[in-house]
Amino acid sequence: MPIEYNIIEDKNLILVKGSGIITGRDVLNHLADLSKDDRYVSFMKKFIDYRFVQNITVTSEEAWQIADKKKALRTIFHGEKCAFVSPKDISFGASRMHQILVEGADLSTEVFRNVEDGQGVIFCLNSVRFVSMYGTPGKTLLMTPVLQ
CA atoms within 13 A on the CB side of 35: 16
Longest dimension (CA), the chain: 44
CA atoms within 13 A on the CB side of 17: 15
Per-residue confidence at 26, pLDDT binned at 50, 70, 90? very high
pLDDT confidence of residue 127: 39
pLDDT of residue 36 exceeding 70, the answer is yes
Q: How high does pLDDT run on average in the chain?
A: 81
pLDDT confidence of residue 109: 86
Range list of H helices, 1-145: 24-36, 60-72, 74-77, 89-101, 115-123
pLDDT above 70: percentage of residues in the chain: 80
pLDDT confidence of residue 114: 86
pLDDT confidence of residue 20: 95
Segment 66-85, tens digit of pLDDT: 999 988 998 898 888 889 99
Backbone φ and ψ for 29, nearest 5 degrees, come out as: -65, -40
Segment 121-144, tens digit of pLDDT: 666 433 344 444 433 333 444 444
Per-residue confidence at 117, pLDDT binned at 50, 70, 90? confident
Integer Cα distance of 27 and 40 in angstroms: 17
- Cα angle 68, 58, 77 (rounded to 5 degrees) comes to 35
The answer to whether the beta carbons of residues 107 and 80 sit under 8 Å apart is yes
pLDDT confidence of residue 122: 67
pLDDT confidence of residue 121: 66
